Amino acid sequence: MLVDLSYFGRSELPVEMFSSAHITRLILRAHGLSNVSSEIGNLKHLIQLDLCSYNNKINNWHTHLDKLPPSLCSLTNLVHLDLSFNGLAALPYQMHKLESLRYLNISNNQIPDLPPTLFQLENLQLLNVRANRLSFLHQDVGKLKALAHLDIAENMITEVGESISDCKMLCIVLLDSLWINSLPGSFKLLVNLTLLELSNNTRLQSLPEGLDKLPHLEALHIYNCHPSLRVSSPRLLRVTKNKPSQLSFLQCTKRVPVLHNFDLLIDRKLEMVDQYEADFV
């Protein structure tokens, strides 16, 4: 069952909601909540939870939601979790219990570091931590073997470690507006890489060798990087973008199953839940 309370305009959710065993998708965009009740852990069949506070009607966002209850991590059927545009300063430590999670968007929060347990999510395919307060990318990111889309842009990260190359499924890597001077040589091992976004890295002076050998690379964005950054490889010159562009991003997302077929994935999970409930009627 889908429950959509977007633009709800109240600081708390109705208590009776948490006694429903049939809610599978809970959409609370532009919610206005000041807290999330610990009773949300009662929604055991929840597959999608959207707590993005961005209000596209006024092109703005405002929230007082700065923490989450640990009980959120008991939602073991959760596939899609959107916590973007809130005031979160941390994630619950037991994130590893969200074993079904494939999509996690925590962009535009106040998070300075990620719990190490997050990197135990073996099914995670999309991780968006854009515009937080991260100063480093945890070396355990390499444990996310299913990861296809990684966005760590607009953070204070000064270094991207070699372990990123262990994410062999990566198709899209967004690293714009960081504080990096260079990239690890292991990038040449990301054989599925389609889009590499490096724009607005004003300290970035060089690219790692071997990028021109990546067979699926379709777009390399280096707009507004350090003046000394040069691309000489004919192969890279063909895919390099020196000005802002969204077209290449839209084209490249077609290669990422988690983006292109995500609604289909949700529908399949809903079918499984419906069958589960039917067996007990």
> DSSP state, 264?
H
Question: For residue 159, what are the CA distances in angstroms to 11, 38, 175, 184, 189?
Answer: 39, 37, 11, 9, 18
Flag whether the pTM goes above 0.85: yes
CATH class belonging to 1-124: alpha beta
Range 146-155+164-262 classified under CATH 3.80.10.10: yes
**Residue 148 has which token pair?**
């296809």
Beta strands 60-61 and 54-55, pairing class = antiparallel
Q: Say how far apart CA 158 and CA 260 lie, in whole Å.
A: 31
| Residues forming CATH 3.80.10.10 domain(s) in the chain | 1-124, 146-155+164-262
Beta strands 80-82 and 25-27, pairing class = unpaired
Is residue 130 within 8 A of residue 156, CB to CB? The reply is: no
pLDDT in tens, 50-70: 999 887 655 455 667 899 999
pLDDT in tens, 118-175: 999 999 999 999 999 999 999 999 999 999 999 999 999 999 999 999 999 999 999 9
**Residue 182 has which token pair?**
């260079």
Q: Which helix (H) or strand (E) holds 247?
A: helix 247-252
pLDDT at 245: 55
Nearest to 195 by CA among 169, 222, 217: 217
